[in-house]
Chain A
Amino acid sequence: MTQLVLPRGYQPDDEGTHPPLDFAGYKTTALRHPTKPLILLPHRLTEVTGPVFGAERLHNGDDDLTSYAGGEAVGQRIIVHGRLLDSDGHAVPDSLIEVWQANAGGRYRHVNDQWPSPLDPHFAGYGRAVTNADGAYRFTTIKPGAYPWRNHLNAWRPSHIHFSVFGQAFTQRLVTQMYFPDDPLFFQDPIFNSVPDQQARDRMICAYDHSVTTDHWALGFRFDIVLRGRAQTPFESEPDDD
């Protein structure tokens, strides 16, 4: 096989940015977290490449969650926008973003969500968008409600929107949740609080954006998503040989 100079790998994750897989406060992690140390995988071709999806995965209206089945969804209409960037500040263009969320009353349109809050016939709770050349994306949706779960006594999830992004490499794949400013439920939410670093945690909270708020129409929120950037030198993530 011919010799090949591999593209640079990606920067290692910063300590404290991502949650530990074993987090006692979130009970479901107990039987679902690996117990053995993760093995370092150097970034070679399979890791520096990745699935790249664009407009071909979109359907008409995927970026507007407020008009399912021919009518208007109930709730506070909001515009969520932002940029997909890498940690060096480079835009990540032409990249698929998938979102899902509860309705204004905090109920998901899913067979397993049966708590007594009504479904909205005009809110399906999922959407898709593709970033433009500047890495920018935009959704119109409804502010999701909080909802109860059985993790601990009187447990409520703060309002959040799930985001799934591919970036441009296998190493950049990220699923996260976007939260809203000043949510009074943060203090008791183990999923939000599983992120060790306070500054990292705060990066999951969108910012109210009056420049996008639209008169007599919708409130604007800004949420930038930052993925790992390139390592500075090839094989930075390789283990030392000595």
Chain B
Amino acid sequence: MTDLGCTPSQTVGPYLALVLPWEDGCDAVAPGTPGAVTIAGRMFDGSGDPIPDGLVETWQADPDGRFDHRDDPRGPRRYSGFRGFGRCPTDDGGHFAIHTLRPGPLPAGDGQVEAPHVDVSVFARGLLNRVVTRIYFPDEAEANAGDPVLRELPADVARALIAVPDGDGALRFDIHLQGPHETPFFRV
């Protein structure tokens, strides 16, 4: 069997804004879609300063917990064409915001069920590789309690992966690359 070595990761550097932000990047779902929710936050470094040159990417299931992707054996049902992908650069204050639909729960393949979640990739100058985290939802206590990922984590770590209600149905999820509030990050 061929076994090619993988190409290494390198930092996005300071000038990712030349091409990576898309006009419709922050919209994982078309604007005006009923039920859309905003997940907003700020990105901070280890001294608590906002990161003005970062990029957040999100990937998630549709509200039925399905993916419009060949490797979801069920395929999409009601949400064919849902992009499910958001990409938002941070501004001078480190702010980002993704507009999307809330994902549904997902089968974990072993009889367990994953709670609704959004996978997040974080890119920035000074990050030699992306870092990955997950956003869970604050009003899904029961599903979160049964989630096979959250369940394995100490309570304070699991709590740090749950977004915070921010009024009018909006959610807040800050990303701290380092420091006392360091976001839990995953190896994928």
Interface of B is mostly: loop
Given A50-B59, A100-B15, A164-B20, decide whether A176 and B128 contact each other with a Cβ distance below 8 A.
Answer: no
Q: How far is the CA of A85 from the CA of B134 in the complex (A)?
A: 27
Q: Assess the B45–A113 pair: CB atoms within 8 A.
A: no
B interface residues (Cβ-Cβ under 8 A, vs A) = 1-20, 22, 45-47, 49, 51, 53, 57, 59-61, 65, 67, 69-74, 83-85, 105-109, 111, 113-114, 117, 119, 121, 123-132, 134, 148-149, 153, 157, 177-178, 182-188
Q: Are B188 and A43 in contact (CB under 8 A)?
A: yes
Residues of A within 8 A of B178 (CB): 31-35
Complex partner residue of A45 from B20, B106, B188, CB under 8 angstroms: B106
CB <8 Å contact, A41 and B149? yes
CB <8 Å contact, B84 and A51: yes
Q: Which residue of B lies closest to A47 (CB)?
A: B188
Q: How far is the CB of A92 from chain B (nearest CB, A)?
A: 12
Residues of B within 8 A of A122 (CB): none
User: In whole Å, how far is A80's beta carbon from the nearest beta carbon of chain B?
Assistant: 14
Partner of A173, one of B5, B106, B130: B130
Alpha-carbon distance between A39 and B127 when the two chains are bound, in angstroms: 17
For the complex, is A77 an interface residue (Cβ under 8 Å from B)? no
Chain A, Cβ-Cβ closest to B153: A39
8 Å CB contact of B18 from A42, A126, A168, A195: A126
A28 to B177, CA, bound (A): 12
Tell me the bound Cα distance from A110 to B47 in angstroms: 26
B73/A5 in contact, CB under 8 A: yes
A226 x B7 contact (CB < 8 A): yes
- Chain B residues positioned under 8 Å from A138 (CB to CB): none
What's the Cα separation between A168 and B72 when bound, in Å?
12
Q: Which A residues touch B5, using CB under 8 A?
A: 14, 17, 87, 199-200, 203, 226
Answer whether residue A99 sits at the interface, using C-beta atoms and an 8 A cutoff: yes
- 8 A Cβ contacts from A39-78 to B: 39-52, 57
